[in-house]
């Protein structure tokens, strides 16, 4: 029986362990944190996440889609809250497709428990990876002060943004790595269900309070509550660094997110006590080293959360890796690793670029009348010619087209729509056949 070690029992690692177990590997998973069933998991990290088609494709591949569906809440569009509290709704797709909100801890726990049902998979907590010998396939862990060494035929580094596995790769010649913090960070506030248990906001939507430089976002939980997240720069008049106390937080909400205040009974307390977290992007190349070791998930490409694709892209890494194993077999592992890097590095880089781009879109452009006009034109063209126009958001969230191909198509759409929006009186003519024809003509001629 071939042996695999997975470092990190987060979302990507526990999923990978499960699928490798299905392929007949004996899998040892080592996680630095204590068992989540015995502690509060992921404090300071996001409470809930969005699953998109890439996530679902990975769950389907592993045969666990039904299990996961049970713990999700669908959102069919964005509900925009303006400064005056007026709300407008924008569906994610004209076909009524949904993204799905899921609790990070519940998903993580479900994946770990599914993996542990296979007697060939063991998950060992409180094991901190400290070193890897790529030649020997030997991983070293610190377990409560003791050194533990294990060897395997395949090693997966799924140990997130601060990856120790990647840290050892970084010491090798010609391994490329960049890390960059963006100027904004985030703070979460919990929006509970009403006293009678009903939701205080429309459950079917992802709620956004876009305010140019910053925004509040609300994502549903299965208990009819929402997780609210303020994304804002650290510096400046209303920077997170200036908003330290509960009173500061309340003043900020009074000025910018007034209609959210009645939804959050203990806003001041939450604001003062909940952590403020930074956001970094990480890129590296290659995603493998030697003939046995690969990186998946945030360890390879940590990104900002504005497309809600970090986990989806991480699960896609694992699914693609497993499909390559299906195609080539373990006996050709070096080829699997090389093909994996070839396929996933461009995808990982595009995932980071798309996430940065969507920050601008969510924070800024959804409050912009020109953006809304553009969306209306695009939706009309898509409705009448679904074979010709698939919006970038749909390509990213509702298909498995590689991220880099989706991004290239999105950039082509930008060039087309810049020309359309520059035509005379577009605000009055946007619904006309003439504008629709212009888009179709530009689709033929714009590369």
Residue with Cβ nearer ligand FAD (397 or 404): 397
Residues 160-189, interacting with ligand FAD (CB under 6 A): 160, 162, 164, 186
> Could you write out the DSSP letters of every residue in 244-283?
-SHHHHHHHHHHH-GGGGGG-TTHHHHHHHSPEEEEEEEE
Give the shortest CB-164-to-ligand FAD separation in angstroms. Answer: 4
Q: Measuring CA to CA, which residue among 33, 282, 8 is closest to residue 155?
A: 8
Helix 104-116 to helix 11-22 angle, to the nearest 10 degrees? 20
Q: Measuring CA to CA, which residue among 186, 231, 39 is closest to residue 125?
A: 39
Give the shortest CB-444-to-ligand FAD separation in angstroms. Answer: 35
Residue with Cβ nearer ligand FAD (83 or 148): 148
Give the gyration radius of the chain's Cα atoms: 23
**DSSP H helix total and E strand total for the chain:** 15, 19
**Exactly one of 22, 46, 79, 184 binds ligand FAD (CB under 6 A); which one?**
46
**Exactly one of 77, 249, 297, 348 binds ligand FAD (CB under 6 A); which one?**
297
Torsions phi, psi of 437, nearest 5?
A: -65, -35
**Exactly one of 98, 112, 129, 189 binds ligand FAD (CB under 6 A); which one?**
129
Residue 13 sits in the site that holds ligand FAD (CB under 6 A): yes
Residues 143-162, interacting with ligand FAD (CB under 6 A): 158-160, 162
How far apart are alpha carbons 361 and 371 in whole angstroms? 9
* 388 close to 373: Cβ distance less than 8 angstroms: no
Only segment of 43-51, 132-140, 232-240, 268-276 that touches ligand FAD (CB under 6 A): 43-51
What number of CA atoms fall less than 13 Å from residue 129's CA on the CB side? 29
Residue with Cβ nearer ligand FAD (316 or 378): 316
Residue 106 sits in the site that holds ligand FAD (CB under 6 A): no
Only segment of 8-16, 74-82, 86-94, 255-263 that touches ligand FAD (CB under 6 A): 8-16
The dihedral through the CA atoms of 93, 211, 406, 445 has a sign that is positive
Only segment of 286-294, 297-305, 341-349, 372-380 that touches ligand FAD (CB under 6 A): 297-305
**Exactly one of 72, 79, 314, 394 binds ligand FAD (CB under 6 A); which one?**
314
Give the shortest CB-217-to-ligand FAD separation in angstroms. Answer: 9
**Lateral strand order in the sheet of 226-233:** 87-91, 77-81, 205-211, 214-220, 226-233, 176-191, 276-285
**Exactly one of 5, 25, 27, 30 binds ligand FAD (CB under 6 A); which one?**
30
What number of CA atoms fall less than 13 Å from residue 118's CA on the CB side? 23
Binding mask 54-93 for ligand FAD (x = CB under 6 A): ----------------------------------------
Give the shortest CB-129-to-ligand FAD separation in angstroms. Answer: 4
Residue with Cβ nearer ligand FAD (132 or 243): 132
For tokens 């396939």, the residue is 137
Note the residues at the interface with ligand FAD (CB under 6 A).
7-13, 30-33, 45-46, 49-50, 128-129, 158-160, 162, 164, 186, 297-299, 305, 308-312, 314
């Amino acid at each position: 029986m071939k042996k695999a070690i997975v470092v990190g029992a987060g979302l990507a690692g526990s999923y990978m362990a499960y699928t490798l177990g299905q392929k007949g590997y004996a899998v040892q998973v080592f996680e630095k944190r204590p068992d989540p069933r015995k502690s509060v998991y992921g404090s300071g990290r996001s409470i809930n996440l969005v699953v998109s088609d890439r996530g679902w494709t990975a769950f389907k591949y592993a045969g666990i889609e039904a299990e996961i569906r049970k713990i999700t809440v669908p959102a069919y569009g964005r509900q925009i809250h303006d400064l005056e509290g007026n709300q407008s709704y924008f569906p994610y797709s004209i076909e009524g497709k949904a993204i799905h909100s899921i609790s990070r801890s519940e998903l993580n726990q479900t994946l770990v428990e599914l993996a542990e049902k296979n007697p060939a998979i063991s998950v060992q907590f409180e094991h901190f990876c400290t070193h890897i010998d790529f030649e020997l396939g030997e991983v070293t862990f610190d377990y409560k002060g003791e050194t533990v060494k294990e060897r395997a035929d395949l090693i997966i580094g799924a140990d997130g943004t601060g990856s120790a596995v990647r840290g050892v790769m970084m010491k090798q010649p010609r391994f490329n790595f960049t890390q960059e913090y963006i100027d904004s960070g985030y703070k979460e506030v919990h929006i509970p269900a009403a006293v009678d248990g009903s939701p205080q906001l429309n459950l079917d939507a992802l709620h956004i309070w876009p305010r140019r430089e910053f925004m509040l976002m609300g994502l549903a939980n299965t208990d009819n509550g929402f997780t609210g997240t303020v994304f804002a720069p650290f510096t400046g008049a209303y920077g997170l660094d200036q908003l330290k106390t509960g009173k500061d937080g309340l003043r900020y909400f009074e000025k910018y997110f007034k209609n959210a205040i009645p939804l959050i009974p203990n806003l001041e307390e939450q604001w003062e006590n909940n952590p403020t977290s930074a956001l970094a992007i990480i890129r590296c190349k290659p995603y493998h080293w030697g003939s046995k070791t690969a990186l998946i998930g945030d360890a390879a490409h940590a990104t900002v959360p504005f497309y809600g694709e970090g986990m989806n892209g991480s699960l896609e890494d694992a699914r693609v890796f497993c499909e390559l194993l299906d195609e080539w077999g373990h006996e050709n592992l070096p080829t699997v690793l090389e093909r994996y890097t070839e396929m996933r590095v461009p995808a990982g880089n595009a995932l980071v670029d798309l996430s940065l781009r969507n920050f601008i879109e969510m924070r800024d452009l959804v409050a912009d009348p020109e953006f809304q006009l553009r969306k209306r034109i695009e939706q009309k063209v898509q409705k009448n010619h679904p074979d010709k126009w698939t919006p970038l958001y749909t390509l990213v969230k509702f298909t498995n087209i590689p991220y880099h191909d989706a991004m290239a198509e999105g950039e082509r759409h930008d060039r087309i729509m810049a020309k359309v929006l520059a035509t005379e009186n577009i605000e009055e003519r946007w619904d006309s056949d003439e504008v629709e024809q212009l888009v179709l003509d530009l689709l033929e001629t714009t590369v």
